[in-house]
Amino acid sequence: MTDSNVVDLLAVFSDLAPAADAVEQLRAMGVHDDCMNVISGVPVTEAMLGRPRQWTNVPRIAMGGAILGFGAGFFLAFISPYLYPYPIQVSSQAFVPGPPTVVVLFELTMLGMLLSTFLGVFLDSFFPNYRPMKYVPEISDGKIAIFVECPHVEEKKITDVLKKLGAESVKPAEAQHL
Amino acid sequence: MTNAIPEVKLAEEHVGKWGMVINQDICTGCQACVAACAMENNITFVGEEDSGYGRSMHWIRIERFWEGEYPEVKMTPNQPMLCQQCGSAPCEPVCPAFATVHSTAESLNLQVYNRCVGTRYCANNCPYQVRSFNWRDYERPEPLPNQFNPDVTVRRRGVMEKCTFCIQRIHKAQDEAKSEGREVMDGEFTTACAQACPATAITFGRTDDPQSLVSQLAHKGHGVKHLEELGTLPSVTYFKGG
Amino acid sequence: MADHKHDAGHAHTEEHFREKHLMLDPLPRGQMNDMVMESMTGKPGWKFWTAVIILSGIVAYGLVYSWAKMIAEGVGIAGVNRPSYWGIFLVNTVFWIGISHAGTFISAILRVFKAEFRRPFTRAAELMTTFGLVQAGFSVFMHMGRVWLSYWLFPYPNQRMLWPNLHSPLTWDLLAITTYLLSSTMYLFLPLIPDMAMARDRSTGWRKNLYKALALGFRGTEGEWTHLRHAMNIFAFAIIPVMFSVHTIVSWDFAAATRPGWNSTIFGPYFVVGALHSGMGAAVIVLAVIRSNMKHMDYFIRAEHFDAIGKLMLIISMTWAYFFFNDYMVQWYGGDKWTHQLLHFHEAGPLGWMWFAMLFCNVVVPWAILWNTKWRSTPWLVSTVGIIINVGMWFERYIIVPISLTINRAPFTWRMYTPGVEIPLGIGTLALFILLYVLASKLIPLIPVWEVQEGQMAHELKKFGRETVVSVSELE
């Protein structure tokens, strides 16, 4: 299963600067950005570590949800009044009342958008996920951990470099139950 | 552009279908209409305590006002107040459950008991305050249940109700007329309150028929519609001081 | 003298800043985690259990028993009558929705405008939103005559072939409150995920399982943070108009009606500001209670926070007074005889004292106390003002609902309203709110630790000549 060639390491840093240096150094050693992953206890932006920008679908999913919500609102506001067995008249108001449709469209658009934003986080992050994963609990104490999972590089060399750059520990990464 | 200024529908121009004229000058305040209405429409008796607390359930009530201190009291004419069957009723649009709607066929303001969930918004929004709410399931001791009118639903707690212009009588008359292949004649039937009034202060009939008694009385000239400035287009015309 | 002056000029030492500002007093993240975990998992003392037992008792009697009785016997056991068809149930609905506005105000508006003092208490405020909305929902369902049919108000295809009446402000209300409840709960949960992961990493037993389930497998990868940040940003911006719409629609329940005193176009913003007024007052009470009753909270919640909220309370109080006067002035000037009757009844009727008490609580007290930095920084004093404001705002809603309903265009029906079972039910909702909060304080980290750490990373002291000032970097 594990190719002897594949390096699977986990280095823990206590600070941002050495972690950023390590990312740079690893890249210089031929480790592709796709082979690295960073986990942290506070949101560390990609720019701080010099990492490529992360792709997120959340805004698109939100937009999709907003459109769906608008559709639901449109159905309620403009179509549902025609689904009755006979026309229901209240007061002298029009069948499809003007201003109230704005209220309905607004609320359902927002509901659709916010529900799907929430759902988007779940979809994009593969939540909920209770399988064993590579993790170190120290990161919720503010540490930054870098995973290196890369073929065709020497484990020893990488370990030395990371240690030299200030990694608190470098060890083989193991999936565990969180 | 002759129609640049929109047309305004005045209360007195509202025709509707069924209407009522109440002559306050000959109303004696005897409450016969109130009793007849309660019998006809299976209205419950709320008892002394709830009645005193503003929970009396009458679809028609006699309002009495007076000025000055006893014994120097100046009375104003008795004012029977019931659902005005507005052409543009404020109670209708506010119900979230469509429990009170406008009947385009009969030009009446309907109350659908089994749709009502009891938000009581309609009653708040009724400027005439003529809606009654079933605050509890009031006790109806024997033998009172024997006099239930089988044509009218008995309402349970949590439901709003109000005057229907005795719609069960309207339907009965219409059915009879239809089976005989004719139109409903003026004076063929009337509401329970009008029927019971010993002074004939209440007249009920077709307002869209200019020959009917109610139309002729309504157009006598000094009739008023209550709170017509709100644009509710009431179907009841009041006379007093004439 | 000269020396003294000299000292005063250099009073702002680093030590001074550290003492004053949480953001300039960083502790190692691990230590903050431990403090938050200890405040949450520490063995509950007798105070906690007494509170839980008493509150549960009140909820059982006030909410469960009284409501069951009302469902069985009818709304008649409440005090509502003609013409006050809406009583304390609707007062409480408006009140609780008002309370819920503080959470969104603090965690969304202050987040959007990057007000850094918000960081330690966004969650405490968001919890108020969710729990407050639960009470608002209860209150409005209690109000209904046939609550067992309340599902008819939701839009779904049914055999009755009916859809909700979209002409009705109550239907808009239902849509708005549902949207707000769902979105504020989601907005509470999103920033909680990293803290759940933190709690998962340092707990055992049933707590471990609970936090593991709620952390959803969050590790803190770059991707997870990015998705979370984007989502929170969308929420922060989008939930603000939702919040405004909710209380505006609540105000339309009144303003759309053809009633003297209600039919006012300014009710929308007036209600929104009123909601924020009571909401901020409630937020400050909650913060003071948390601070004095939970371990380590005096590190996270400091005088500076009371000072900052105090300023907001003062501004909101002024805005409320502005809207109140605006509404009053135009109603009075209109000259409608029924409106005049109503205004006279407000001030000189049997409950006229309530009208004056409202102005005293909502305007006089906050203005008299909150202008002073020192008083504003005193937790017990600010939270007392918060209590007074909430009393005042409850009076305001009481004046708008049952008192205004007493006067209408049919003088024959004028009659006073005396609350009945509304009182235990209202107290029941209050007890349930506190109970939920007390229990939640033992189950979820009330302090968003990662947000506090993020803020502490962004803050530093900077020297301009001889003056040391606080400077904040924008990390995002």
- Residue ranges of domains in chain A, CATH in brackets: 7-54+132-176 (3.30.70), 59-125 (no CATH)
pLDDT digits (tens, 9 = 90+) for B174-203: 999 999 999 888 888 999 999 999 999 999
Predicted local distance difference test score (pLDDT) of residue A162: 86
Kindly give the pairing relationship between strand B108-111 and strand B100-103.
Answer: antiparallel
Count of the separate structural domains present in chain C: 1
- Chain C's closest residue to A101, CA to CA, is C166
- The correct CATH number of B11-239 out of 1.20.1250.20, 3.30.70.20, 3.40.50.2300, 3.40.50.300 is 3.30.70.20
Amino acid at A110: M
What average pLDDT is seen over chain A?
Answer: 87
- B59 and chain C: CB distance < 8 Å anywhere? no
Mean pLDDT on C317-337: 92
Query: What does the angle CA A163 – CA A167 – CA A169 come to, to the nearest 5 degrees?
Result: 90
Beta carbons of B160 and B130 less than 8 angstroms apart: no
In a domain, C74, yes or no: no
Q: Is B136 left (phi over 0), alpha (psi -120 to 50) or beta?
A: beta
In a domain, C19, yes or no: no
A90 to B102: CB separation less than 8 angstroms, yes or no: yes
A91 to B95: CB separation less than 8 angstroms, yes or no: no
Residues 167-186 of C with CB under 8 A from A: 167, 172, 175-176, 178-179, 182-183, 186
In a domain, C412, yes or no: yes
pLDDT digit string (tens) for chain A, length 178 residues: 444 567 788 889 988 888 888 888 888 888 888 888 899 988 888 888 888 888 899 999 999 999 999 999 999 999 988 888 788 888 888 888 889 999 999 999 999 999 999 999 999 988 898 888 888 888 888 889 998 887 777 788 888 888 888 888 888 888 888 7
- A2 and chain B: CB distance < 8 Å anywhere? no
- B102 and chain C: CB distance < 8 Å anywhere? no
Residue C128 lies in domain:
82-472
Query: What does the angle CA B44 – CA B46 – CA C150 come to, to the nearest 5 degrees?
Result: 75
Predicted local distance difference test score (pLDDT) of residue B135: 92
Q: How close, in Å, is residue B89 to chain A by CA atoms?
A: 5
- C326 and chain A: CB distance < 8 Å anywhere? no
A59 CB neighbours in chain C (<8 A) are 230, 234
- C263 and chain A: CB distance < 8 Å anywhere? no
Interface residue of C93, C146, C163 to substitute, partner B, most B CBs within 10 Å:
C146
In a domain, C30, yes or no: no
SS3 C130: helix
DSSP A89: B
- A85 and chain B: CB distance < 8 Å anywhere? no
Radius of gyration (C-alpha) of chain B in whole angstroms: 19
C253 to B160: CB separation less than 8 angstroms, yes or no: no
Q: What is the spatial distance between Cα C244 and Cα C226, in angstroms, rounded to a whole number?
A: 28
Q: What is the spatial distance between Cα B93 and Cα C165, in angstroms, rounded to a whole number?
A: 8
Mean pLDDT on C363-392: 94
Q: What is the spatial distance between Cα A79 and Cα C332, in angstroms, rounded to a whole number?
A: 43
C238 to A76: CB separation less than 8 angstroms, yes or no: no
Query: What does the angle CA C34 – CA C39 – CA C45 come to, to the nearest 5 degrees?
Result: 140
C168 to B121: CB separation less than 8 angstroms, yes or no: yes
In a domain, C260, yes or no: yes
Q: Name every residue whose Cβ is closer than 8 Å to that of residue B67 and which is 6 or more positions away in sequence.
A: B73, B74, B76
Q: What is the spatial distance between Cα C251 and Cα C255, in angstroms, rounded to a whole number?
A: 6
C415 to B160: CB separation less than 8 angstroms, yes or no: no
Predicted local distance difference test score (pLDDT) of residue A174: 81
- Chain C's closest residue to B66, CA to CA, is C412
Of B64, B65, B117, the CB nearest to C152: B117
- Chain A's closest residue to B103, CA to CA, is A89
In a domain, C163, yes or no: yes
Q: What is the ipTM of this complex?
A: 0.91
B100 CB neighbours in chain A (<8 A) are 90
- B101 and chain A: CB distance < 8 Å anywhere? yes
Q: What is the spatial distance between Cα B132 and Cα C37, in angstroms, rounded to a whole number?
A: 57
Is the predicted pLDDT of residue B2 greater than 80, yes or no?
A: no
- A87 and chain B: CB distance < 8 Å anywhere? yes
B104 to A89: CB separation less than 8 angstroms, yes or no: yes
Interface residue of C85, C159, C413 to substitute, partner B, most B CBs within 10 Å:
C85
Domain CATH number, residue C354? 1.20.1630.10
Kindly give the pairing relationship between strand B18-23 and strand B236-239.
Answer: parallel
Beta carbons of B151 and C113 less than 8 angstroms apart: no
- Global pTM exceeds 0.90: yes
Interface residue of B76, B100, B135 to substitute, partner C, most C CBs within 10 Å:
B135
C82 to B54: CB separation less than 8 angstroms, yes or no: yes
DSSP A165: T
Of A117, A127, A57, the residue nearest C218 (C-alpha): A127
Q: What is the spatial distance between Cα B150 and Cα B117, in angstroms, rounded to a whole number?
A: 24
List, in sequence order, every residue forming a beta bridge with C459; answer none if it has no partner: C472
B125 to C257: CB separation less than 8 angstroms, yes or no: yes
Hey, which chains touch A, using 3+ CB pairs under 8 Å? B, C
